[in-house]
Structure 1
Amino acid sequence: MPHRIRFIMVGGFLGAGKTTTLGQLARHYTDQGLNVGIVTNDQATDLVDTNTLRSQGFDVGEVAGACFCCNFNELISTMGKLSAERRPDVILAEPVGSCTDLVATVIQPIKQLFDAEFDIAPYGVILKPSHGVRILKNEPNSGFSPKAAYILTKQLEEADLILINRIDELSEAEINEIAALCAEKCPGTPLLRLSAKTGEGLGEFIEFLAQDGQFGRKILEIDYDTYAEGEAELGWLNSSLTVASEQTFLLDDFLVGVVFQLQSKLKKAEFEPAHLKAIGLWEGFFGVANLISSDTGVELSLPSDCEVKRAEIIVNARVACDPQLLQEFVEEAIQEVANLIQLEVTFRQTQSFRPGRPTPTHRLAEPVA
């Protein structure tokens, strides 16, 4: 029998918890003695997720500059490089959080063109409670326009499984409300409760992913004009920089401070963050701080517990605002926190833009037989 790689893609809106979930899955499969490769995806380079997963010791390839669907050939090439180097049994793929229609443009084309090489697992989509509830309830203050909200609802519609994340932060009543909203929006789609952070519910997710059958076949009816306009409402920023001081400083405090300052600026300007992330790297140590919405707190999701004199920093921001203004906010926040603890900042590269119209390499109108 030829070696077939199990392809597991986990979708979800920006800030849903995809990276944390993939890290949990990768550890599980590695503990089972399997070789695991991970492919991350972004509209730009300098992706916090890639560095986070690599810093945890995983074999990670990155598809940068466009989403999986619009850069399908690069996705296949990246998976091929992982396969050539380590011959993985499982490849975990994390698509851009503002993308949808991935069954028609990624899963089914892989099945049609590369069925001998890849075995397709069920497609799970993670629901982010903070924005997800407001969008599913059609609340006018969701923080995003109906066109941007359209993307999240379409992500859920094409899922084989919806995962309600962050159950460790929710009451039973809140979880039941989210489950009822999902069942109303996507009747018949299985639901699982998950905490990517603690691992609760991960076993049930792994059992679901182990199934074979008619999965990854939900071809959406989708309006690409609405989809494109919704994506273009988000300002996108990736920035890399170095901070240094003659005295040691707490790396985690700097990361949290930057994200907190940025949250304050965005809140004052009434711009909704979809996700903010900052990673600090120093001699094999790393820390990550993030924010997933305006009404949640800044979280030190991965503490470094380090005092350093120098660190490499990457900031990713996805916010419903003009990208040039977003860049000004980010640079101001970094400089203000650096000034407080007397750090010298050297910006290396910053990319800020609005995502362009999605133009898939392939799009199948019907699932492969």
Structure 2
Amino acid sequence: MRFIMIGGFLGAGKTTTIGKLAQLYQQAGLQVGIVTNDQATDLVDTHTLRNQGFSVGEVAGACFCCNFDELTATVEQLQSDQQPDIILAEPVGSCTDLVATVVQPLIKFHNNIFDVAPYGVILKPSHGRRILGGDANAGFSPEAAYIFNKQLEEADFLIVNRIDELSPDTIDNLVGLLEHRHPHTPIIKLSAKTGTGMQALVDFLDAQSDANGTATPVGQRILELDYDRYAQGEAELGWLNATVTLQGQKKIALDDLLLDIIGRMQTMLTAENVETAHLKAIGSTEDCHATANLVGSDSVVELSHASNVETERVTMIINARVAIDPAVLEPLVREAVVGASGERDMTAEFGEVQCFRPGRPVPTHRIAVVGD
């Protein structure tokens, strides 16, 4: 069973990339299972991928590295239920050191089950240009930028995503910055949104498969990592997962509601002068859903999946990852939801709300030397 893990910082486009990869593999006649990961339950990405018809297991409560046994148990459950040929795994966007704590342990302890693919990391262009270019106003603290750079450093290959949003000169500049920092790391350019370059990603992964007898060693770039600095960088993020039910007496446009809620959150966070890593919301009715997101403070709110429906009742999940105190983030999100729903004569009843700073990472395994 092939195990393909695609990492990258928050808002890099991991979920969209994995969804497109899964579609391509299914079109080739392969069975695909997906494993998502978050610091808490109620992950928008899990519901988004399930709504696309994929078999998805979720590892919640800690990153893959700190919940390794849950990762392998989730894969075993998918294997029992679906017999997948391929597992696509999406780690938490604020995590690094995954080669030492996930890739190498899978190879060491589960080599009889998995053909572990090269570990790919997606570059988020909006932050990549600023951090790699040495912009002092990159919007990240030095500790968060440290995590970002370490993610790139450990990758077997790098992906420049969102090329549909970039000029040719900007793409060339980004690739040049990456080649300067990581001269021996292959780079793939693609747009997960439009599908451009996705087949090149499949071809690259297939060319590195044990099944084809062409595999090269994977997971060779084990990091020298300051875990104190890593923990500090993660802890600078306010992390929110919330569920809410909206109910009204008249039908409202679901897509407009989601865009309004995320837009209100963006406006309030801009007023707080804080960096947004990502905001996501999925709104569901009995038979359809819509998804909206924001991938950075200076980005535009996007409707990543339109429903084109009107409804009186919406079940919503909201995820926010922002460099802000959780005690400020939660009431801000509540205000945005209540404001948008109130203008539509809807009530908003919140269910579970989890709002916190991520704890210090404590990996289940850490293999510091390849082959240990």
Q: Same fold (TM over 0.5)?
A: yes
Counterpart of 1:275, as a letter, is H
- Mapped to 1, the partners of 2:220 and 2:64 lie a distance apart of 17
Matched, 1:350 2:357: no
Counterpart of 2:260, as a letter, is G
SS in 2 for 1:97: coil
Question: Which residue of the partner structure matches residue 70 of structure 1?
Answer: 66
SS in 2 for 1:91: strand
Of 202, 212, 217 in structure 2, the residue corresponding to residue 206 of structure 1 is 202
Question: Which residue of the partner structure matches residue 257 of structure 1?
Answer: 260
- Mapped to 2, the partners of 1:19 and 1:362 lie a distance apart of 26
- Mapped to 2, the partners of 1:242 and 1:161 lie a distance apart of 41
Deviations 1:97-117 (A, max 9, x none): 000000000010000000000
Counterpart of 2:243, as a letter, is S
> Structure 1 residue 251: deviation in Å?
0.6
Matched, 1:123 2:126: no
- Mapped to 2, the partners of 1:16 and 1:350 lie a distance apart of 25
Of 258, 270, 273 in structure 2, the residue corresponding to residue 267 of structure 1 is 270
**Cα pair 1:12 1:155 within 8 Å, conserved:** yes
Of 78, 102, 110 in structure 2, the residue corresponding to residue 106 of structure 1 is 102
Matched, 1:139 2:135: yes
> Structure 1 residue 132: deviation in Å?
1.4
Counterpart of 1:78, as a letter, is T
Counterpart of 1:40, as a letter, is T
Of 293, 296, 316 in structure 1, the residue corresponding to residue 296 of structure 2 is 293
SS in 2 for 1:41: strand
**Cα pair 1:289 1:300 within 8 Å, conserved:** yes
- Mapped to 1, the partners of 2:309 and 2:90 lie a distance apart of 29
Q: Extract structure 1 runs of 4+ deviating beyond 4 A.
A: none
- Mapped to 2, the partners of 1:93 and 1:128 lie a distance apart of 18
Question: Which residue of the partner structure matches residue 327 of structure 1?
Answer: 330
SS in 2 for 1:69: helix
More deviation, 213-222/23-32? 213-222
**Cα pair 1:278 1:288 within 8 Å, conserved:** yes
**Cα pair 1:11 1:18 within 8 Å, conserved:** yes
- Mapped to 2, the partners of 1:79 and 1:57 lie a distance apart of 18
- Mapped to 2, the partners of 1:181 and 1:304 lie a distance apart of 39
- Mapped to 2, the partners of 1:340 and 1:73 lie a distance apart of 46
Deviations 1:255-305 (A, max 9, x none): 110110000000011011000000011123111100011111001111111
SS in 2 for 1:71: helix
More deviation, 249-258/181-190? 181-190
Counterpart of 1:215, as a letter, is V
Deviations 1:194-213 (A, max 9, x none): 10100101011111111121
- Mapped to 2, the partners of 1:28 and 1:220 lie a distance apart of 32
Structure 2, gaps ≥5 residues long: 209-214
> Structure 1 residue 311: deviation in Å?
1.2
> Structure 1 residue 138: deviation in Å?
2.0
- Mapped to 2, the partners of 1:98 and 1:132 lie a distance apart of 14
**Cα pair 1:111 1:368 within 8 Å, conserved:** no
Of 304, 314, 318 in structure 1, the residue corresponding to residue 317 of structure 2 is 314
Structure 1, gaps ≥5 residues long: none
SS in 1 for 2:311: strand
Matched, 1:337 2:340: yes
**Cα pair 1:55 1:284 within 8 Å, conserved:** no
Question: Which residue of the partner structure matches residue 228 of structure 1?
Answer: 231
Deviations 1:238-257 (A, max 9, x none): 00010111111111101110
More deviation, 226-235/281-290? 281-290
> Structure 1 residue 89: deviation in Å?
0.3
Q: What TM-score does the superposition give when structure 2 sets the normalisation length? A: 0.97
Alignment of 1:3-42 (within 5 A): 5-42=1-38
Matched residue count: 365
More deviation, 275-284/105-114? 275-284
% identical equivalent positions: 56
> Structure 1 residue 140: deviation in Å?
1.6
More deviation, 234-243/178-187? 178-187
Deviations 1:79-98 (A, max 9, x none): 00000111110000000000
Matched, 1:89 2:92: no
Counterpart of 1:367, as a letter, is V
- Mapped to 1, the partners of 2:52 and 2:309 lie a distance apart of 16
> Structure 1 residue 324: deviation in Å?
1.4
More deviation, 26-35/105-114? 26-35
- Mapped to 1, the partners of 2:332 and 2:251 lie a distance apart of 26
SS in 2 for 1:350: strand
> Structure 1 residue 188: deviation in Å?
1.2
**Cα pair 1:111 1:120 within 8 Å, conserved:** yes
Q: What TM-score does the superposition give when structure 1 sets the normalisation length? A: 0.98
- Mapped to 1, the partners of 2:248 and 2:371 lie a distance apart of 58
Counterpart of 1:100, as a letter, is T
